[in-house]
Amino acid sequence: MKVWRGKFKLPQKIMRHIADKRKETVGYPMTLRTYIIRRSILIIPSFFVISLIIFMLIHMAPGDPTRIMTGPRGRLPPDVLALMRKELGLDQPLHIQYLQWLGRLLQGNFGFSYVSYRPVLDMIGERIFNTLELMLLAEIASVVVATILGVIAAVKVHSVPDALASLAALIGYSIPNFWIALMAILFFSVQLGWLPVAGLRSYGAIYNSPIDAWVDHLKHLILPVSILTFGWTAYLFRMVRSSMLDVLGQDYITTARAKGLKERIVIYKHALRNALLPVITYEGYSIGFLLGGAAVIEYIFAWPGLGMFMVDIATWRDFPTLMGLSMTICLMVLVANLCADIAYALADPRIRYD
Amino acid sequence: MAMGEPHMKSEDETKVYKPSMASRVYVVWRELKKSKLTIAGFSIVLFMVLIALLSPIIAPYDHRWQGTSGIPPSLEHPFGTDGQGRDMLSLVMHGARVSLYVGLAAVLMEICIGVTTGMIAGYFGGKIDEIFMRFTDLIMTLPTFMLLIVAVSMFEVRNINVIILIMGLFGWPFMARVVRSEFLSLRETTFVEAAVSMGASNWRIIVHHILPNTLSSVIVLATMDIPWYIFYEATLTFLGFGDPSSPSWGVLLQIGYYYLRSYWWIITFPGLALFFTSLGFNLFGDGLRDALDVRARGR
């Protein structure tokens, strides 16, 4: 780290002394790499606690899985049912069942669905990229829009654009996401007929070229992505605005202005970089919350992603699939949090690695 | 009192000035009044609460009454009628009852769990704090809504109280964090030190000395969380995991979804009601936060 830029330099001896002192007081200085490794190891206990929570959540509830397998009208003799329970390991005590499930999970075996009899992992694999596509697009769009609006609102605080943006944000987080999705379908798809109602692509369409297929897919993306973006932008905007206002009131901004820097440089190089730090953390930790919102949007737009899958199998009460899917989603959230923490550490060298 | 005299306390001096509840509420109200937006939010909340309370009296029809189905909004039925011929205005009014009940009850659950966890962690600190907060953080990062779906679907009985219970079980971590940080800073104050030196028990210090001081944060957070629970319940119900026997706004939206293409008014009015209620609580919560000077961050 270069601190002394001028021609005055502290003597080498003093510099070394300071460095030694610092090592003595801090002990072993933790590098970024150690921090990342330590932070990643923290995922393991979280994983076990979450697996326990999910297992208990699903197995504490009353009801017999064999009844789900045989269907609502299924009338099998009790000895057959007992045999089925034995096959599935449901006759074991709960803690044994948990350990068996966990063991299989760690080997990458998520089990088979009680309803479709297909491997759970396959069914998740088919859908995960659809969800990621939707989430990433909306995430990127909302970060960009919220940052631009937030900076404008904070720089021109209490002006007309600020008031308008704040009002829009207020409406954005007061409005139920799924309701606005339905209204959008009603308006754009049913009344005007501009955009397709649901799905990944038009049903039974035959395309002349791959470009046509892409355009069709993009048309289907517009509504869900813009509605998700609208909701998330509202939260992020408030965050960016207040964080930016905080930073703009600090002394070093005054200093930067006093030394005659252009306002543009003060805002984008000095203020924005620091103002975005809390936003990074917020972004990472709100992934779980955002996934929940996305589930409803997926359901409404019949988007074959994890959220819609969750709603479907929850209606069926398909135990192995529910557990596997919940674990997958929780793992995604854990990894997202890890990424946010690492990004924060990379962005802010002042962070205490503890 | 002359200089040399021994210090004798008179009756008036020993009496500590303690503002009454009414005067404290008045001080807050005076602050609240300054912002027009807050007043607007408060009016909306008050309006919705009044409607919820008075719906059996002021609703034009009983919510089970059935007439001709699918009448668009008219003078007779300002919000139209639904697919079964029920008056939408009366249904929305009755829905306010259910939805506000859900919001309040779930927030009460959240306060119970969150405040207890937060105060134990913040007051005792050390290992207890470490364990409690690790767990809280874990719950906080979990995809709440997904787990709500899983948990609610596991119960064969569709009951509104079960939904409230489960929402409360997942919704408390943020409250716990806020209460904990308040306790951490208040624990170091001189009045707590004084209480300790007079031999007050832990329980007495927590409940009588620190807890009242965290009240404003708790109130602000609770106000802002009410619309969340109403949303969550509405969304769960909309997805088909709700209680069809208690017609909340979510149930109405679910009905509206079936008639999306034919009867637009069924989905429009319950959604607007949800929107305005949430707007009211958010504006009021923002105002309360400023008036009580709480540094609670929005979710």
pTM of the model: 0.82
What does the angle CA B95 – CA B156 – CA A55 come to, to the nearest 5 degrees?
A: 115
Show residues of chain A in contact with B146, CB under 8 Å. Answer: 288, 291-292, 295, 307, 310, 326, 329
Give pLDDT, residue B297.
Answer: 41
Cβ contact, residue pair A182, B141, below 8 Å: no
- If you measure CA to CA, which chain B residue comes closest to A48? B138
**Which DSSP state fits A228?**
H
Give pLDDT, residue B112.
Answer: 93
Q: At what angle do helices B36-58 and B88-124 cross, to 10 degrees?
A: 130
B179-230 per-position pLDDT tens digit: 998 888 888 888 888 998 998 888 888 888 888 888 888 988 899 889 989 9
3-state secondary structure of A112: strand
User: What is the band of B7 on the pLDDT scale with cuts at 50, 70, 90?
Assistant: low
Cβ contact, residue pair B271, A171, below 8 Å: no
Q: Residue B298: is its pLDDT beyond 70?
A: no
Give pLDDT, residue A6.
Answer: 47
A159-188 per-position pLDDT tens digit: 888 888 888 888 888 888 888 888 888 888
Give pLDDT, residue A43.
Answer: 87
Min CA distance, A183 vs chain B (Å)?
8
Query: How is residue A299 written in tokens?
Result: 């359901």
Give pLDDT, residue B154.
Answer: 78
Q: Which residue has the higher pLDDT, A27 or B31?
A: B31
Cβ contact, residue pair A326, B148, below 8 Å: no
User: Residue holding tokens 């509206």?
Assistant: B256
Give pLDDT, residue A4.
Answer: 46
Q: Residue A64: is its pLDDT beyond 70?
A: no
**Spatial separation of the C-alpha atoms in residues A197 and A199, rounded to whole Å:** 7
Are B211 and B114 a contacting pair, CB within 8 Å? Answer: no
Cβ contact, residue pair B141, A333, below 8 Å: yes
Are A275 and A243 a contacting pair, CB within 8 Å? Answer: yes
Which of A182, A239, A322 is nearest residue B150 as measured by Cβ atoms?
A322
Cβ contact, residue pair B143, A62, below 8 Å: no
Which of B143, B152, B155 is nearest residue A330 as measured by Cβ atoms?
B143
**Spatial separation of the C-alpha atoms in residues B292 and B189, rounded to whole Å:** 20
**Spatial separation of the C-alpha atoms in residues A309 and A288, rounded to whole Å:** 16
Point out which residues pair with B81 in neighbouring strands: B87
Q: Residue A73: is its pLDDT beyond 80?
A: no
Give pLDDT, residue B111.
Answer: 94
Min CA distance, A65 vs chain B (Å)?
11
Give pLDDT, residue B108.
Answer: 94
Question: Largest Cα–Cα distance in chain A?
Answer: 92
B9: Cα within 13 Å, side-chain hemisphere: 6
Q: Residue B296: is its pLDDT beyond 50?
A: no
- Percent of residues, chain B, with pLDDT higher than 70: 91
A80-133 per-position pLDDT tens digit: 778 877 877 777 788 888 888 888 888 888 888 877 888 888 888 888 898 888
Q: Of the ranges A57-66, A237-246, A305-314, B43-52, which one carries the lowest mean pLDDT score?
A: A57-66
Show residues of chain A in contact with B275, CB under 8 Å. Answer: 174-176, 179
Give pLDDT, residue A2.
Answer: 46
Tell which residue, A290, A275, A307, has the closest CA to residue A173. Answer: A290
- Percent of residues, chain B, with pLDDT higher than 90: 15
Q: Which residue has the higher pLDDT, A53 or B158?
A: A53
Which of B140, B153, B274 is nearest residue A315 as measured by Cβ atoms?
B153
Mean pLDDT, to the nearest integer, of A319-337? 87
Which of A170, A175, A178 is nearest residue B238 as measured by Cβ atoms?
A178
User: What is the band of A302 on the pLDDT scale with cuts at 50, 70, 90?
Assistant: confident
Cβ contact, residue pair B257, A182, below 8 Å: yes
- Percent of residues, chain A, with pLDDT higher than 70: 83
User: What is the band of B113 on the pLDDT scale with cuts at 50, 70, 90?
Assistant: very high
Which of B241, B268, B274 is nearest residue A176 as measured by Cβ atoms?
B274
CA distances from B36 to A154, B43, B294 (A): 21, 10, 19
User: Residue holding tokens 């270069």?
Assistant: A2
Q: Break chain B down into helix, strand, coil percent, rounded to 5.
A: 70, 0, 30
Question: Sign of dihedral through CA atoms B269, B270, B276, B280?
Answer: positive
Q: Residue B159: is its pLDDT beyond 50?
A: yes
Structural element, H or E, at residue A351: none
Show residues of chain A in contact with B143, CB under 8 Å. Answer: 287-289, 291-292, 329-330, 333
**Spatial separation of the C-alpha atoms in residues B109 and B113, rounded to whole Å:** 6
Show residues of chain A in contact with B167, CB under 8 Å. Answer: none
- If you measure CA to CA, which chain A residue comes closest to B227? A174
Q: Of the ranges A278-292, B7-21, B102-116, B247-261, which one carries the lowest mean pLDDT score?
A: B7-21
Mutate to test the interface with B, among A174, A189, A309 (most CBs of B within 10 A): A174
Cβ contact, residue pair B146, A326, below 8 Å: yes
Q: Which residue has the higher pLDDT, B298 or B146?
A: B146
Mean pLDDT, to the nearest integer, of A217-221? 83
B54: Cα within 13 Å, side-chain hemisphere: 8
- If you measure CA to CA, which chain A residue comes closest to B142? A288
Mean pLDDT, to the nearest integer, of B27-43? 84
